Amino acid sequence: MHAWICDNPVGPEALRWVELPTPVPAAGEVLLAIRAASLNFPDLLTVQNKYQYKPTPPFVPGAEFAGVVEQVGTGVSAFKPGDPVAALAGIGGFATHATVRADKLLPLPSGFAFEHAAAFALTYGTSHHALVDRAALKAGETVLVLGAAGGVGTSAIQVAKAIGARVIAAASSDEKCALCLSIGADATINYGSTNLRETVKTLTEGRGPDVVYDPVGGDLAEPAFRSMAWRGRYLVIGFAAGNVPSLPLNLPLLKGTSIVGVFWGEFVRREPKASAAGLAQLSQWYAQGLIKPVIDLQLPMDRLPEAFARMAARKVMGKVVMTNG
């Protein structure tokens, strides 16, 4: 097997593509032949030692992947060789093979493409937990999605549309805004060239969005928060811009707004039944054609550094998926 090894988490440039002995699954584990793995922003933070979860080096990065079961360890009855599965293991995906604990695997329904399965649970799971569970978004309400052309952003547009909400997608370029319109956004704001708060006001006739979905943070957070409607819910998803913003606490008081934290990985660990129910609904929406991962680029696994460079340069639109031939 081959894998990208991180011996020193100082950034993607320190990763090495190496040949390793193919592992034998231990009790409770499964050996997977990986078909596809997608890049998520947390993978970038992990190889930079900036993510909240810090694996001990050496490790193989890649949180989200899909493939075919090759071998099962003792005690595994839920899977057998040949089964197509998706894996959410936190690490291990940027490789040709991985051993994964069976409880980190999801069986793939027939018709679920590996490229989509590798780019599904993390982003759509986050957006479903955020919009359905944490924000209780209702049909007819308006959502403002920041960083809307990124991985979680594109999934948030589709999940909000599946619920029946109106989506204002905000991103940093006209090209990104065009992508958002093409996947269902009702209106867009290019915050690279226009004033976010003023444009939100115009698009909502002064009322403001009911929900803000914010995976970017930085300088966008305060104007987005100030633009919200009465009883709005501000979803704190992440800080892709790099800095964690602060807000004056008189703002939520004045508008009766809630600041709602979203941590999907912890939700999966603490509330497995609720998480499984969310993923089941997402799987149904996928089968109905209501949601579909936006694949920006597919690259062979050994070209992973190009994917990391594209993400760090803020160029990804949707998801980059690495595949094994």
The nearer residue to ligand NAP, 32 or 149, going by C-beta atoms, is: 149
Report d(CA 221, CA 131) in Å as an integer. 18
Q: Which residue number, 72 or 322, has a Cβ lying nearer to ligand NAP?
A: 322
Shortest distance, position 19 Cβ to ligand NAP, whole Å: 29
> Most distant CA pair in the chain: distance in Å?
62
Q: Is 225 exposed, middle or buried (0-12, 13-18, 19+ CB in 10 A)?
A: buried
- The nearest distance, CB 84 to ligand NAP, in angstroms, is 24
Residues 70-129 that bind ligand NAP (CB under 6 A): 122, 126
CB nearer to ligand NAP: pick between 84 and 90: 90
In the chain, which ranges are continuous DSSP H helix? 41-47, 114-117, 121-128, 151-163, 174-182, 196-203, 221-226, 250-255, 264-270, 272-287, 304-312
Tell me which of 21, 82, 111, 242 binds ligand NAP, using CB under 6 A: 242
Nearer to ligand NAP, 14 or 297 (CB): 297
* Closest distance of CB 174 from ligand NAP, Å: 11
Length of the chain measured in residues? 325
Q: How far apart are CA 106 and CA 67, in angstroms?
A: 11
Q: Looking at beta carbons only, is 168 or 237 nearer to ligand NAP?
A: 237
Residues 267-306 that bind ligand NAP (CB under 6 A): none
**Surface-to-core class of residue 186, CB atoms within 10 Å of its CB (0-12 exposed, 13-18 middle, 19+ buried):** middle
Residues 6+ apart with CB under 8 A from 227: 144, 196, 197, 200, 201, 204, 208, 209, 212
What is the nearest approach in angstroms of ligand NAP to the Cβ of residue 170? 7
Binding of ligand NAP by 152 (CB under 6 A) = yes
Contacts of 315 (CB under 8 A, 6+ apart): none
- Among 32, 34, 41, 119, interactor with ligand NAP by CB under 6 A: 41
Give the residue, chosen from 3, 40, 46, 119, that forms a contact with ligand NAP under the rule CB under 6 A.
40
Query: Which window, 83-91, 156-164, 239-247, 285-293, contacts ligand NAP (CB under 6 A)?
Result: 239-247
Beta pairing partners, 142: 166
Q: How far is the CB of 306 from ligand NAP (least distance, A)?
A: 14
Residue in 31, 33, 6, 32 with CA at minimum distance from that of residue 18: 6
Residue appearing with tokens 């589709």: 158
Residue position matching structure tokens 């994964």: 100
Q: CB 244 → ligand NAP: shortest distance, Å?
A: 10
**DSSP result, 2-53:** EEEEBSS-S-GGG-EEEE-PPPPP-TTEEEEEEEEEE--HHHHHHHTT-SSS
> Is residue 215 near ligand NAP by the rule CB under 6 A?
yes
Residue 63 binding ligand NAP, by CB under 6 A = no
The site for ligand NAP, by CB under 6 A, has a size of 28
The one segment of 10-18, 27-35, 37-45, 103-111 that binds ligand NAP by CB under 6 A: 37-45
How far does CA 273 lie from the centroid of its chain?
20
Are 62 and 93 spatial neighbours (Cβ–Cβ below 8 Å)? yes
Toward ligand NAP, which CB reaches closer, 72 or 135? 135
Is the CB of 192 or the CB of 206 nearer to ligand NAP?
192
Stretch of 5-13, 95-103, 224-232, 260-268 contacting ligand NAP, by CB under 6 A? 260-268
> Which residues would be at the binding site for ligand NAP (CB under 6 A)?
40-42, 122, 126, 147, 149-153, 171-172, 176, 215-216, 237-242, 262-264, 311, 314, 316
